[in-house]
Structure formats: structure tokens, C-alpha cells
Amino acid sequence: MDNHWRATAHELHQHFVEGKISAEAVVSSHLQRIAARDGEIGAFLHVNEEGALARAKEQDGWAEGKRADHPLSGVPVAVKDNIVTRGMPTTAGSKILRDFMSPFDAAVIEKLLAAGAIIVGKTNLDEFAMGSSTEHSAWHPTHNPWELSRVPGGSSGGSAAAVAAGLTPLALGSDTGGSIRQPASYCGIVGMKPTYGRVSRYGLIAFASSLDQIGPMARSVEDARLLYEAIEGVDPRDSTSTAAPSATLARGNGPWRIGLPREYFGEGIEPGVRAAMDQALERLRSLGHQLVEISLPHTSYAIATYYLIAPAEASSNLSRYDGVRYGMRVDGHDLVNMYETTRDQGFGAEVKRRILLGTHALSAGYYDAYYLTAQKVRTLIRRDFDQAFGQVDFIVTPTTPDCAFPLGSRDDDPIKMYLGDIFTATANLAGIPGLSMPVGLSEGLPVGLQWLAPPFQESQLFQAAAALEAVLPKLPWPTGVDHE
């Protein structure tokens, strides 16, 4: 069996353009890897075996020029299962969308296909992207390739695990409160959430519309950037997408002023995470960058704010799953009973919990106290970042206070699960881009460092992350799965 699955997306594309490898061999290598390893990992919900091979064979017939014109030709990409795809089921990890086939491709899928990407399958997630462990998928949990008894994080846990384990070099995730960055951190890969509005949400099954963004997941900063560049851009079908140009960084290639918010380095960070962070920060200092302590004073309200806004929007977005037009229907003795039994049997516990939270937050008499107040705090959190970016070029934080936790360990404590989003949710609330990259191991588990940048400075974000990546030792392949 060829070891193409070990290569980066850049290498695969380059070798394919140069005719050194065939797309079919690349895809076969990954499909075999999926067949061999995904049984224990559970990263995929659907493997697009025939479709991917057919597309690979088609690309093998392309001339060199055509291969080069498609920046992702010859490269497998996995897609989180809350992004709709024609010809493959899209379930969002929910029984209510069992076997659902979308009549259209998401905007990012159109872009991926136009860029030559070969879609190898759909990856697992917490139901409707609600969760931080991928245990809340209606189908099966996903296991962390570093230690199979642990969660890969979530909700893009399938994508993260698949990339980490070499089942695909690239994957799309979606990030509403950290759902790309947190699993990237837990799985030792790079995951990036673009600025709100940078990537079209058309075809992303909505969780919380004002927070959701699709982003890239890869094993290197360069690969993440390759995937990001294929999917970004304004889309007339998404009125919240923006044609903003890339902002330019005041201090170009550096040295940069890097802010360390004191609220993100306080109590509750595991010692191993703190140690890995300290080493990474030392590297940044040794590169000549200036590290300054800053304050984001409204950070402590972020989780409460997030857990009002996100469920409120979710309760509305998920109302369409009513059994009338598509997806699952459980017949009832009348219309209301049909609605109730369909939604009762179709949604899992975590989704129901959030629908209840959100419905309550929007109810007459509670709207002002909850939703409206949360929106006001959101403005304050955004202002915190505006002010901070007046002083610094980037902000660096731990992505999470901890490392991947054991499956089942937070089942009885949703609040603890929610608190895990504390360092990531602020970027969604503020709409700014964030990137998580591995900076070391703590007791054998990856530790992620998060970069935050001002709106529309994705390019600089990649630049900064790549600079740090270059001076850090590369992580080994995950230890929980066989790599021979």
C-alpha cells in the first residue's frame, strides 16, 4: 500500500501536477487507510468511494496545465456532514435527517469542486454541530487518534480525527463557538475559523446563523491556507458574506506586538497545557516578537452570552425539521402530535436541551432580559477586541484549558462541557478570525495554541502561525492508531 496518505496536500497536488503520482493512487491510498483505520476511529459517516475514484480517474486524464490550474487537483478533502452535498447523504449527525439527500451543493462544495478537490466523504459531528466532543452524534461517537478512549473534541471531531489520522489531508469543519479550533487542538492539527462573512454559509446547515463559519482543517498551516483560499470569497447567495479585501498588517513581517490577555491565562488551565504554551511563547519571543499582557475585560461573560445567542438562533433554525417536507416523520393522531413525536424522536438530548434554552430566551417577557442583554454584551466583547487590536497585531491564547478528555466523562455535566468553549467562543461573538495550531504534547496528548487577528486578516494569521510552526518541533503521528 502506497504511503500517499502521509503526504501533505501541497505535496500531493505538486506531485500530481508533475505527473509523479496519479490521483487514483492518491485516492486509493486514502480510501484504504479509511477502510483500515476508520473502524476504530469513527471519523466518517459516509465514504464517497466510487465518486472519489471516478473523479480521480477523470483528473488523471487531465493535461499538466489543467492540473496546475486547479489548486486542489489530486487532493482528497473530507467534508463535515453539516455541509450539504449533492449525491451524498447529509445528516448533520441527526436522526431527523436520516438518509437526507440535498438537492444542491453548498457554496463551499462548488468552490472545492471548481478547485479540483476530490471529496472523499462526510465526517462525523455532534448533532447539528451542538457539542464539544462528537459524542452527541446520532450515529456513533468519534475517537481521538491519539488515544482512542478519548474524544476528538467537537463538533468537527470527525474532520479533526480524519485529518490527524491521515484519512484525508484536508477537511472542512464549521465553527460556531470553537467547533473547528477545539477539535483541532485536541487532535494536534491546524484548524482555522475565518472572519464572519469571509466564507459563504450557503449550504451550511445553520446552527447559530450569526456565529457559524466554515473553515479549513489540515496537518500544517500551509495546507490549511491552501484549503482556506479555495473556499473564501463573497457569495451573492449569502447576504452576510463580505467582499472585504484582506486588511494589511501595520507591522508587515514583524516583529509583531502579540497580546496575551490576562483573562485567558488565569486559573483552570491544566499544567501541561500551560507548560506547552510557555514554550511556544518563548519561541515567539526568541523570534523577536514583543509579547505584551493585555486585558479583554468582558471575557468572563462570553460563555453566558454565547449560550444565550447560539441556542436562541438554533431554536429558530431547527424549527424547520417538522416532519412535513423532508427528513424523518413520525405520524401522530393530529398535526401537533406529529410535530411533537417527530421532533421528540428525531432530535437527541443535547439538541433538545439547546432548543429549550433558546426558546425560553426568546419568549415573551424574557427576550429583553436574555437575548437582548446578550446582544449588548456581545457588543462589549467586540469592543474589547477592537481596543486590544489598537495595541497589538495578534492575540495569542491557549485554544482550550485542557486536553482531550475521556469519552463519557462529561455526560452528566453539560455546564463543564460548555465552559470548555471559553477561549474560543469570543472569536465567534466578535466575528474575528482565529486559528489553532499544535504546540506540543501534554502527557501524550496534543496542546493547541490559538491565534486571534483583527477582522479579515486571515492572511496575516496564516503568516504568523506559519512563522511559529517553523520553529516548533513537528508532532509525531498520533499514537492511538497504527501507521504502518
8 Å CB contact between 403 and 457: no
Binding residues for other proteins, rule CB under 8 A, total: 43
Shortest reach from residue 322's CB to other proteins, in Å: 6
Q: Please pick, from the candidates 313, 393, 421, 458, the single residue that binds other proteins as defined by CB under 8 A.
A: 313
8 Å CB contact between 146 and 479: yes
Q: From the candidates 29, 133, 155, 185, which is the catalytic residue? A: 155
What is the rounded CA–CA span in Å between residue 70 and residue 23? 13
Spatial neighbors of 4 by CB under 8 A, at least 6 apart, are 12, 21, 25, 26, 29, 30
Candidates 433, 430, 409, 435; CA nearest to 420 is 409
Measured from the CB atom, the residue of 243 and 364 that comes closer to other proteins is 364
Identify the helix (H) or strand (E) that includes residue 166: none
Under rule CB under 8 A, residue 335 binds other proteins: yes
Check if 155 is active-site.
yes
- Residues within window 103-122 making contact with other proteins, judged by CB under 8 A: 103-104, 106
Count of helices and strands (H, E) across the chain: 16, 11
Measured from the CB atom, the residue of 77 and 449 that comes closer to other proteins is 77
- Residues within window 192-211 making contact with other proteins, judged by CB under 8 A: 201-206, 208-210
What is the rounded CA–CA span in Å between residue 363 and residue 353? 16
Type of residue at 281: L
Shortest reach from residue 97's CB to other proteins, in Å: 7
DSSP classification of residue 44:
E
Check if 80 is active-site.
yes
Measured from the CB atom, the residue of 103 and 271 that comes closer to other proteins is 103
Shortest reach from residue 363's CB to other proteins, in Å: 6
Shortest reach from residue 354's CB to other proteins, in Å: 15
Shortest reach from residue 58's CB to other proteins, in Å: 26
Identify the helix (H) or strand (E) that includes residue 150: none
Under rule CB under 8 A, residue 312 binds other proteins: yes
What is the rounded CA–CA span in Å between residue 125 and residue 146? 18
Q: From the candidates 80, 111, 122, 193, which is the catalytic residue? A: 80
Cα 186 to the chain's mean position, in Å?
Answer: 12
- Residues within window 346-385 making contact with other proteins, judged by CB under 8 A: 359, 362-364, 367, 371
Under rule CB under 8 A, residue 102 binds other proteins: yes
8 Å CB contact between 354 and 310: yes
Cell of 248: 494589511
Q: Please pick, from the candidates 32, 279, 316, 409, the single residue that binds other proteins as defined by CB under 8 A.
A: 316
Residues in the chain: 484
Shortest reach from residue 401's CB to other proteins, in Å: 29
259-298 mask for other proteins (x: CB under 8 A)?
----------------------------------------
Place of cell 472542512: 172
Measured from the CB atom, the residue of 63 and 336 that comes closer to other proteins is 336
Crossing angle of helices 221-231 and 458-470, rounded to 10°: 160
Active site positions, annotated = 80, 155, 179
Under the rule (CB under 8 A), what is the footprint of other proteins?
83-84, 90, 92, 97, 100, 102-104, 106, 201-206, 208-210, 236-240, 312-313, 315-316, 319-320, 322, 324-326, 335-336, 339, 359, 362-364, 367, 371
